[in-house]
Amino acid sequence: MTGSKKPDQKDIASWISKAGKVEQTEEFRYPYVEEFYVEISFASRFALNQIRQLAAESFTDRRTQTREERLDDEKLQLGYAQRIVKGWRGLTVEKLNSFIPGTVDEAITQYELAKKANPELEIPTVAEIRATEVMYSVETAASILSNSVDFMSWVVETAGESKHYSKVASKKEKEYENLKK
């Protein structure tokens, strides 16, 4: 070999460690709702463990006097919202209602209560409520994750599949794999 040196195994181990901590984000179509796209970051085992550790709470079982751990669901969903779900586009209240039934009804109820408290308040029509775009925020993402098992499962599964984030795979392959789900 003239002038060329193979990478050292220590270098490769270092690359792997660093790559697992770097954020890589892609946009995916949520397969259960038309024209709803979610920006998701790859979640390495390292990232998932960090989220889990932040959501874990230690306590002493009074009966057995042993230290145990339980996950705080709210902290877990907030962790996923902060670290994995980075944004979305195309989500309206009506589309949200398709995977969290009752969203439209709750919005109407809240507007009616506000109108009773303030009769001069102008409230939107049901059609306007349905067409309202749901803007991304960490709090909204956490709320959706906590209220939709399907969305939560899809986000975690998508975030953990490295093939979706490989620069080697073509965009068409990524879209095809995403649509198969």
As a whole number, mean pLDDT of residues 36-62 equals 84
Q: Which residue has the higher pLDDT, 44 or 143?
A: 143
Q: Which residue has the higher pLDDT, 105 or 57?
A: 105
Total count of residues recorded for the chain: 181
Residue with tokens 């794999």: 177
pLDDT at 18 over 70: no
β-pairing verdict for 37-41 and 85-89: antiparallel
As a whole number, mean pLDDT of residues 134-149 equals 95
Residue with tokens 């303030």: 118
pLDDT of residue 50: 83
pTM above 0.95, yes or no: no
93 Cβ neighbours under 8 A, 6+ residues apart? 103, 104, 107, 129, 130, 131, 132, 134
Question: DSSP code of 164?
Answer: G
Per residue in 67-108, pLDDT (tens digit) is 888 888 898 899 999 999 999 999 999 999 999 999 999 999
pLDDT of residue 173: 47
∠ CA 143-146-152, nearest 5°, is 110
Rg (CA), the chain: 22
pLDDT of residue 53: 86
> Could you give the percent of the chain with pLDDT greater than 70?
79
pLDDT of residue 22: 57
Name the token pair of 95: 């589309």
User: Contact 81/38 with Cβ under 8 angstroms?
Assistant: no
pLDDT at 169 over 50: no
